Chain A
Amino acid sequence: MSSRLSYYLQRSVRFLSPAPPVIANRYPRLHNVLWVTKAAGYALLFGHLITTYGFSYTGTWGVSMLPSIASSGDFVLISKFYRHGRGLEVGDLVTYKHPYHGDQGLYGIKRLVGLPGDFVLRDSPGAKEGVMIQVPQGHCWIVGDNLPLSRDSRMFGPIPLGLIKGKVIAKSQLFGRDFKWMKNPLQDVADDMHDEEDETI
């Protein structure tokens, strides 16, 4: 080993090495207890920060999103950068704190159908007279993919964006099997009709 390399090695070792282990030498049991407490504290601290402001990965249940997410056994990766509805687009899958049971810790996943100012269908397509209503300021309209078996904005109305906690960016089976990115399925309005007209003319 060249002397220069060993010099840098020593330097980095000295730089990274902790203080002399006084407690570990004199009171090994206390040292263990302290280490576990410290590790638990760090896990709590950074676990909270990551799952509130970064990403979280949880299991889901329920039939309301059936073609997109299975009724049980699917796990979703949620990006919390979209909390409070920041940067969301119509067609995204969002997680929200439930407006009725949210204080008991219930969260849901639905598809974002309307943002503030958008006009949305109040009931299921073809169910009633087809009233369109405007989503109020600071609210959003969320509907499940499984229309007959979903309890969503068609029942509780628009919900405040403050209840939106994140956006589903990927889904998988347990431990990341069948990992799949979630894409926004919304398509631009096709221009096919005009093309056909042009052809006939």
Chain B
Amino acid sequence: MSPILTGRVLYQCAKASIFTISVAIFANDNLFEIVSISGKSMTPALSPDHNTSGTRDWIVLRKMQPTNNIKRGDIVSYPSPHNPDKIAVKRVIGLDGDTVLLDQRRRSAMPPEKQRGWDTWGGKCVVPYGHLWVEGDHWSGSLDSNHYGPIPKSLIDGRALGLVWPWSRFGQTPWTQYRSKTRVIEGIAVCPKEWEL
């Protein structure tokens, strides 16, 4: 192979790979991202067999305006408030303005120091403006708003659209059949006066 040809091939390969990687990052950040669900926190709906066989479900997330028209029961992804480099996938339980009646059973799965923090809620939480109350479906083994409180809507970077793997369940949204046992009194979101722009 002549040196000219080698140089051109290298140049074209570098160009193509840089372009491909850029497009992939752009699409992951702004359009759609495919993530796998590990752990048992979303167990009845997503990755039900992860504890026994280690199989994971892969879901596609919408990254464009994820909090637009958000509803109770939607599945959202966000960088974990405890570890910002880890992505958490949880279910929206309460919108801003709602009163969430905390599930007593979830307290028993917590370590004692977390239980003391949980008790300061006094059994219920009025979700502040611009925030969401998120929980995993499984009552134990889920690090969610019961641990770190309501999370800002601006933290949320994706909303689940559907399953992509396993292939037999492609396109399904198994989380819509499950109803969370945490009770919510619906309210109206009112921006506090001191936060008006």
Contacts and interface: CB of A to CB of B under 8 A. Distances in A.
Interface residues of A, number: 31
Q: How large is the interface on B (under 10, 10 to 19, 20 to 34, 35 or more residues)?
A: 20 to 34
Contact of A160 (B26, B67, B151): B151
A72 interface: no
A162 B155 contact: yes
Contact of B154 (A11, A15, A103, A151): A103
Given A49-B25, A84-B85, A160 B152 contact: yes
Contacts of A15: 4, 7-8, 11
Interface in A129-152: 136-139, 151
A48 B153 contact: no
A45 B81 contact: no
A136 B197 CA distance: 28
Contacts of B194: 151, 155
B7 A99 contact: no
Nearest to A155: B194
Interface of A: 11, 14-15, 44-46, 48-49, 52, 84-85, 97-103, 106, 136-139, 151, 155, 159-164
7 shortest interchain CB distances as A-B pairs: A102-B154, A162-B79, A99-B152, A160-B81, A162-B84, A100-B130, A84-B84
Given A102-B153, A160-B81, 12 more contacts: A15-B8, A45-B26, A48-B26, A49-B25, A99-B154, A99-B155, A103-B156, A138-B80, A139-B81, A159-B152, A160-B152, A163-B152
